[in-house]
Structure 1
């Protein structure tokens, strides 16, 4: 040991204690940091397993595909169906710019090779190759564009990684992607034995480990612009809501489709009446007339706000509708058939009045009228019109029409089944239901909004009333053709009876010819769709709106509308006002929205109505002295 100045240098005890304290503090911090969960730990999967044709991230299966072939011409939006597919996918695009001078040199050499090939074929007398000639034209055109700076050249790589919960589902999604691309002659393959590189190329870390690229010029590469989404926006129409795919506006004109019919399916409280009232209010702003059949008194506030006609039908009201009214048709071809068409309509109505068809326990349906009774009734209807001076001659159709009371008198004095039929009809002439449908009409629907309220009608009379109302509206529609919207709320009440269901279906088929848009609203989806007429009405409607559904109705609607599994899951869990909006071949996830003013006019929420109602002043209390 070396000594300096005869003294030994010793360490200060305070320094030793401080050093010990620092070491202990570092050890404590080190142990603390070991127990901290980092962001990387939170987002990382529990495991990663890579196979030749797929990989597995935790419990999810995945597979990467790459695109290697394109058609000679490709059009804008070709990638949109893949981007908008209702599956979990990742898409990566890698675009590398290439110097134009290098491309021009290569194109010059390529054109020389192609022309030499064409010349050799010609010298040998072989049939010309259209593919070679097309390649020469394309190369020359691209050279011209590059030379003047109108085009640039790029190397383009496109990779798609799909995810699923099982291998079977993964194969199904792959088939969907390949089908969509194959329809446009775009060829894709699975990145075999390169699934890890494919995953790394599609996660957001900017690494192209697959390096499978295709030459493209500016025009071709612009067609693959990725920021596209399902869109239902037109230059004209009304606002239906917000597109939840891209936060765009769903603005649509239903009259632009092959027919303007629409069906609205939703469970109670999902917002179907709110949506229909909102559409009606906005359609009036574009010049449409709106006619509504209201079985629950939900449309009165809206009707009063816009100055419409609110027609309340009940045995106690003074409203009268004569089912024998004939349309004043301008078209000569329709005028010749006006009486015959109304006779057919009256046959269905009278079957309803006389009890309707009955379905027995064994499933056999018995008609309301026998063939002999049908024949007698037909003759009685013709005679009743004839006594009023109305025949098949259109010139006689301006005469005052007969009534149900006139038909009763005709039947009563007819031989055969006439008196018996008159007795079955008597309750509508002099019995319990007399008055409302047995006298001349005293209503006029020449208003921008007309609402027929059937809430106070007896259950037995309601289907008859709805049938007569629809017939009356149809006659008016044929008489004066203009842009109209007819809303049939709670349409399941009509579908319970064969005759009224047939009439509604006939209305759906013929409405387009008379510039009429039929909106059918129902909450009883199972009964509506199980009936063949209900399915036919849906088939004749170019627009559909599916709001929140009961679990029992989801599978049926999924089969009818070809919904994906994800859409079926959403359909039973949509919040109020959200749903699937179908228009022609397109459909989007929509959120129906209204302004505060519209909300106050159309809401049926009791709490909102109570808040909007003006406060009532308290009655003064009596004082005692």
Structure 2
């Protein structure tokens, strides 16, 4: 009847579909292919799964439900219950979840160094591959990837009906899943074929492949999906070279919890769970309850008549209790927020041998018992049970004859069996951030895909901040050969990293021969209509104000602006002749020659930075700034020069970021011991370095910049309005081990649940949580001590000694 509605692309039987359908009830599958429960597939994504019955299948994303606070879980529960209540009563609805093996090839492809980097840094790349390989091996053993699907089946009731109604139903559900923060997408036929292949070949290392010319050569799709054999036994199924058993939910406690389904899947065993629901129409539900209540009241009446003859007046508790339940159900069904559902749950377990299958069965049944649930084997009905497991929303168990397989639940009870658990965070092309402490899966994230790439690393002393940040630099240098890295290092601890990656250390101290010219400029750069000279003038004003320790007067601002323009006059007239590029000393001389007394006062303030002990910024730049990895070593810069020195460094860093944008180069900037940016010297009323970074964190995204601030004390950050603003503008925050007072502040700031706080107080170095956009991820990243990577990155005194 419906064949004319779709473009048929996959024909799976040599006979006509009508010939097959007419004999379906009496037909016993003769081949493995015949066991696969769909008849035809169409290019619009629908499947013909019975006579005039069609199925639509879509995938949905998991969410970190079990990391949420109680109020957040309650919110998800309410929204999930509304989703179930919105299900049309004329469809069969199924949630399908399957544990599958982690694809090691994808992990290696994503995590290993770029080929150019392997050639450039062979020793490091070899060691890094060994470190990554150990993580991949661990996650392959301990973790499982989950396939999560929804199937909806619909049977048109008359000629006016149309199976396309499934697409409308899907669009409605799509929005409801979005409300749950879960994205969905419809599966095409080949996507479903691949899922079926994985279901029937759970221990195979051969990937699913469908030849492009399969149809033109007369091939049958099911030949590429089906295993070599299906043997249906009383209590299990032999599928190819493995054994499968399908269990069903036989009984459950009224107070079933929301961890039941998650707990069955929380392993890397071959387990599939299919939950079937059908919302019972209100009228049908009311009739069912009324009929049951009438029958029960008839039984009670008969019992009372018998009691009267025997001279007693006792009614069994089971009857009176059942009567109360039915009347309560009748009242609740009359409300607007309560629906009745026909529910059945099937659990398929697969193992390589029968002995292992029996062991896995006992494991799953014991897990279920811990949640007051009894799972039983479908003896003699394994073929029908396997159909019910597949993602086609097909259940051939008629409730009239299989009362122990299907049950009836109200919305609140059906909603408790929520399908969500934990998210695997894996962004292809992203950076490796260790192992998820809960799922044991590899974590890769791409900061640049968030609203901004701004970052913070917060943790107490010894928690692993330095190791974490250096490991991130490893990834950037090995995976992104065009990106640049700049580090501001107040502790002189990046020497080895710079040495191995052929970087450049710019050591800035009064005794250092290093010179960095404040007046270095790119005349072609402008921002929002402001010329390069105007921007440089503003920078010099900030440096002078920092040196002075007080705000500049309007006269001083005018003098500085005039002298900056005069300093660049010959350079501009000669179209940027490098020999005529001004220096801080040229600017100093212009101040001395100016007629205003304020100019001479400013010159005196700057004299120590031009003629005196802190003259490292007075001459022309004499360092190699063409390296892609540069470290500004400010460990010996001294407190008196640091405030001004930081301004010069930050000006250079910003100019580099801007210039790199024009070249299409991303710039990563790390600022170690970030608290120094908010301490411009005792008694100062302004924090110019802090102001600079506060502005940078608001603007750097547009220039391809990725800044990361590292500091020990979250309370120090929160005490500074500038730092607090930066934190609010950061989409990537790594929280390592925290002291008690800091943990309280962190938990309040990020609204962490008690469960999310646990990794922050374990006392284990290299563990914590990553807040990336809306994601909160418990992680562990431990670098093996026998690796070259560890030796390069460690800051432990004993290791260094």
* Both proteins in one fold, TM over 0.5: yes
The match for 2:68 is 85
Do structure 1's residue 290 and structure 2's residue 273 form an aligned pair? no
5+ long unaligned stretches in structure 2: 1-54, 78-91, 93-152, 173-191, 193-221, 226-247, 260-335, 340-366, 377-387, 396-414, 681-686
**Would the aligned equivalents of 1:257 and 1:584 in 2 still touch at CA under 8 Å?**
yes
TM-score, normalisation: structure 1: 0.62
Do structure 1's residue 520 and structure 2's residue 709 form an aligned pair? yes
- Number of aligned positions between the proteins: 448
Residues 347 and 601 from structure 1, CA distance in 2 versus in 1: closer, same or farther, beyond 3 angstroms? same
The match for 1:598 is 789
Instruction: Calculate the aligned-residue CA RMSD, in Å.
Output: 4.5
Task: Return the match for 1:469 from 649, 661, 676.
Answer: 649
The match for 2:619 is 439
**What is the CA distance between 1:228 and its match in structure 2?**
5.0
Counterparts of residues 73-472 of structure 1 (less than 5 Å): 76-77=59-60, 80-85=63-68, 111=157, 161=257, 203-207=370-374, 218-219=391-392, 226=419, 229-286=422-479, 287=481, 288-327=483-522, 329=524, 337-355=531-549, 367-386=550-569, 388-390=570-572, 395-396=575-576, 400-416=580-596, 417-434=598-615, 436-472=616-652
The match for 2:799 is 608
Residues 78 and 477 from structure 1, CA distance in 2 versus in 1: closer, same or farther, beyond 3 angstroms? closer
**What are the superposed Cα offsets for residues 134-190 of structure 1, whole Å, 9 maximum, x if unpaired?**
79x99xxxxxx9xxx99xxx9999975379xxxxxxxxxxxxxxxxxxxxxx9789x
Q: Distance in 2 between matches of 1:450 and 1:609?
A: 22
Q: Distance in 2 between matches of 1:327 and 1:556?
A: 43
**What is the CA distance between 1:85 and its match in structure 2?**
3.1
**Would the aligned equivalents of 2:517 and 2:619 in 1 still touch at CA under 8 Å?**
yes
Q: Distance in 2 between matches of 1:600 and 1:403?
A: 41
**What is the CA distance between 1:471 and its match in structure 2?**
1.1
**What are the superposed Cα offsets for residues 419-464 of structure 1, whole Å, 9 maximum, x if unpaired?**
1111111111112312x01111112321132111111111121232
**Would the aligned equivalents of 1:159 and 1:202 in 2 still touch at CA under 8 Å?**
no
Q: Helix, strand or coil for the counterpart of 2:572? A: coil
**Would the aligned equivalents of 1:80 and 1:226 in 2 still touch at CA under 8 Å?**
no
Larger Rg computed on CA atoms: 1
Residues 506 and 79 from structure 1, CA distance in 2 versus in 1: closer, same or farther, beyond 3 angstroms? closer
**Would the aligned equivalents of 1:245 and 1:588 in 2 still touch at CA under 8 Å?**
no
Q: Distance in 2 between matches of 1:374 and 1:202?
A: 78
Q: Distance in 2 between matches of 1:277 and 1:187?
A: 54
Q: Helix, strand or coil for the counterpart of 2:639? A: coil
The match for 1:58 is none
TM-score, normalisation: structure 2: 0.49
Residues 597 and 201 from structure 1, CA distance in 2 versus in 1: closer, same or farther, beyond 3 angstroms? closer
Q: Helix, strand or coil for the counterpart of 1:480? A: helix
**Would the aligned equivalents of 2:249 and 2:373 in 1 still touch at CA under 8 Å?**
no
Q: Helix, strand or coil for the counterpart of 2:640? A: coil
Residues 339 and 585 from structure 1, CA distance in 2 versus in 1: closer, same or farther, beyond 3 angstroms? same
Residues 401 and 134 from structure 1, CA distance in 2 versus in 1: closer, same or farther, beyond 3 angstroms? closer
Q: Distance in 2 between matches of 1:221 and 1:577?
A: 48
Q: Helix, strand or coil for the counterpart of 1:279? A: helix
**What is the CA distance between 1:483 and its match in structure 2?**
2.3
**What are the superposed Cα offsets for residues 112-142 of structure 1, whole Å, 9 maximum, x if unpaired?**
7x989xxxxxxxxxxxxxx99979x99xxxx
Residues 529 and 399 from structure 1, CA distance in 2 versus in 1: closer, same or farther, beyond 3 angstroms? farther
Q: Distance in 2 between matches of 1:345 and 1:557?
A: 35
Q: Distance in 1 between matches of 2:523 and 2:497?
A: 30
Q: Distance in 1 between matches of 2:59 and 2:471?
A: 35
Residues 499 and 202 from structure 1, CA distance in 2 versus in 1: closer, same or farther, beyond 3 angstroms? farther
**What is the CA distance between 1:529 and its match in structure 2?**
2.2
The match for 1:183 is none
**What is the CA distance between 1:74 and its match in structure 2?**
10
**What are the superposed Cα offsets for residues 192-241 of structure 1, whole Å, 9 maximum, x if unpaired?**
xxxxxxxx9883453389xxxxx999456999995852222111122111
Q: Distance in 2 between matches of 1:305 and 1:405?
A: 37
5+ long unaligned stretches in structure 1: 1-71, 93-102, 117-130, 139-144, 164-185, 190-199, 210-214, 356-366, 611-625
Do structure 1's residue 549 and structure 2's residue 743 form an aligned pair? no
Q: Distance in 2 between matches of 1:300 and 1:531?
A: 31
Q: Distance in 2 between matches of 1:353 and 1:188?
A: 71
**Would the aligned equivalents of 1:428 and 1:437 in 2 still touch at CA under 8 Å?**
yes
Q: Distance in 1 between matches of 2:258 and 2:547?
A: 60
Q: Distance in 2 between matches of 1:334 and 1:397?
A: 26
Residues 488 and 470 from structure 1, CA distance in 2 versus in 1: closer, same or farther, beyond 3 angstroms? same
**Would the aligned equivalents of 1:327 and 1:478 in 2 still touch at CA under 8 Å?**
no
